[in-house]
């Protein structure tokens, strides 16, 4: 998700603030009618939003050092289960 805002229960996880991470996800590819897997690398802010019932946790990633060429944003929301600390580190969804 590229939008800098996301509706849900907002929170802050100090343990994940300023940590390098990578995430992948599926969705619409900007500027096309297609969807696919997209990879991102950047820095977690520690901000998260729990969306839905049961809730899915999404973490905000900024300072993107890797993103799809057509991705228009400077930040992305990453689903916890698809977010990994460091290079291929543990998933935030497996706590």
| Number of domains the chain is built from | 1
* Domain range for 77: 9-85
71 in Cβ contact with 42 (< 8 Å): no
pLDDT per position as a tens digit, 5-21: 678 899 999 999 999 99
In the structure encoding, which two tokens stand for residue 54, read together?
């049961």
Distance (Å, rounded) from C-alpha 83 to C-alpha 92? Answer: 6
pTM for the predicted model, two decimal places: 0.81
Would residue 53 count as lying in a domain? yes
pLDDT per position as a tens digit, 28-68: 777 788 877 889 999 999 999 999 989 999 999 999 999 98
Please give the C-alpha separations between residue 26 and each of 11, 15, 79, in angstroms, as whole numbers.
24, 26, 10
Would residue 93 count as lying in a domain? no
Would residue 91 count as lying in a domain? no
């Amino acid at each position: 998700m590229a939008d800098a805002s996301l509706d849900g229960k907002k929170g802050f996880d100090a343990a994940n603030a300023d940590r390098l991470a990578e995430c992948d996800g599926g969705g619409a590819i900007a500027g096309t009618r297609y969807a696919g897997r997209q990879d991102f690398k950047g820095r977690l802010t520690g901000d998260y939003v729990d969306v839905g019932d049961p809730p899915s946790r999404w973490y905000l990633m900024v300072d993107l050092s890797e993103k799809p060429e057509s991705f228009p944003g400077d930040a992305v929301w990453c689903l916890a289960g698809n977010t990994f600390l460091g290079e291929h580190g543990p998933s935030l969804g497996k706590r």
